[in-house]
Amino acid sequence: MLMHNPPHPGEIIKELYLEPLGISVTDAAEALGISRKTLSAILNGRAGISPEMAVRLSIAFDTSAESWLNQQSQYELWHAEQHRSKLQVKKLVAA
């Protein structure tokens, strides 16, 4: 079952991890071994969570990589479903 308008994983990182811990974007990016620009794109919803990023986040925040990928998948699927009626797809049936 899909969530109703799930948040982008970047919002979760920002609101549940960085802000409560008082960690800057620069410090978090350094700890994750990525550029500040890359982390900023994720936090602002302009980039998604890749499998490698999910592993990095799981190490940094003591979470599971699967949880980060699931959040990204739910976010993307919800947004794709919003355009379901615009897709020009025909059902395939056995002849």
Confidence class for position 3, pLDDT limits 50, 70, 90: low
Instruction: Tell whether 69 is covered by a domain.
Output: yes
The pLDDT tens digits for 11-45 are 999 999 999 999 999 999 999 999 999 999 999 99
pLDDT above 80: residue 1: no
CA distances to 15, 37, 65, 74 from 4, rounded to whole Å, are 19, 29, 22, 10
Parent domain of 67 = 9-82
Tell me whether residue 87 is in a domain: no
Q: Total structural domains in the chain?
A: 1
CATH of the domain at 28: 1.10.260.40
